[in-house]
């Protein structure tokens, strides 16, 4: 009986510390759960008001983000087989990664377990990235880490409900 009481006490203390620190995986508390479509980018001070498609999906514990970089459509290849230059252009124009996430206050920490870029996923589970976010109604503003390649990146997203996310 003492053993069970100690175990219950340990779990209660862990739960209390977790709540007190404000760290949780979404479970509806962060407001992130759902699908979010990109509406604009600001990269190194330049605004892309009509971006190419981009989508971030949050479940209660996992996320997936895919988006086309920049304002230009992804280049299509001309022949039946892609040239090395076409492969490089297609690879460079697209970002994709998925994994687990946590939220603490206004910080979102992702740990991608799979990514288009093998170096990004190669250090899993020690490959965490921490973003800051702001939620205002159905709008999510996500700021990438300050040391992100290419300069400061801020994405604005609209929550997608009951419509095709394209």
pLDDT band at 163 (very low <50, low <70, confident <90, very high): low
Measured distance CA(103)–CA(63) in Å, rounded:
12
Compute CA distances 16 → 12, 59, 68, 165, whole Å.
6, 23, 41, 38
CATH code of the domain occupying 23-160 = 2.40.128.280
Measured distance CA(97)–CA(65) in Å, rounded:
6
pLDDT in tens, 79-105: 889 999 999 888 888 999 999 999 999
Domain extents in the chain:
23-160
Give the ranges where 22-122 is alpha helix by DSSP (H): 84-92, 118-121
Query: Tell me, what's the pLDDT at 27?
Result: 43
pLDDT in tens, 108-138: 999 999 999 888 888 777 889 999 999 999 9
Residue 52 DSSP class: P
Sole residue written with tokens 């459509």: 73
């Amino acid at each position: 009986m003492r053993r069970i009481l100690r175990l219950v006490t340990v779990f209660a203390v862990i739960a209390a510390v977790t709540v007190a620190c404000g760290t949780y995986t979404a479970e509806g508390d962060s407001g992130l759960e759902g699908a979010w479509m990109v509406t604009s980018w600001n990269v190194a001070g330049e605004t892309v008001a009509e971006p190419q498609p981009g989508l971030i999906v949050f479940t209660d514990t996992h996320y997936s983000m895919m988006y086309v970089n920049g304002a230009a459509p992804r280049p299509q290849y001309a022949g039946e087989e892609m040239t090395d230059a076409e492969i490089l252009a297609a690879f460079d124009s697209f970002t994709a990664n998925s994994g687990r996430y946590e939220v603490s206050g206004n910080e979102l920490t992702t740990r991608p377990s799979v990514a288009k870029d093998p170096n990004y996923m190669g250090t899993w589970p020690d490959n965490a990235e921490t973003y800051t976010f702001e939620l205002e109604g159905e709008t999510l503003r996500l700021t990438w880490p300050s040391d992100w390649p290419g300069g400061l990146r801020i994405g604005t997203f609209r929550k997608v409900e009951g419509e095709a996310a394209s």
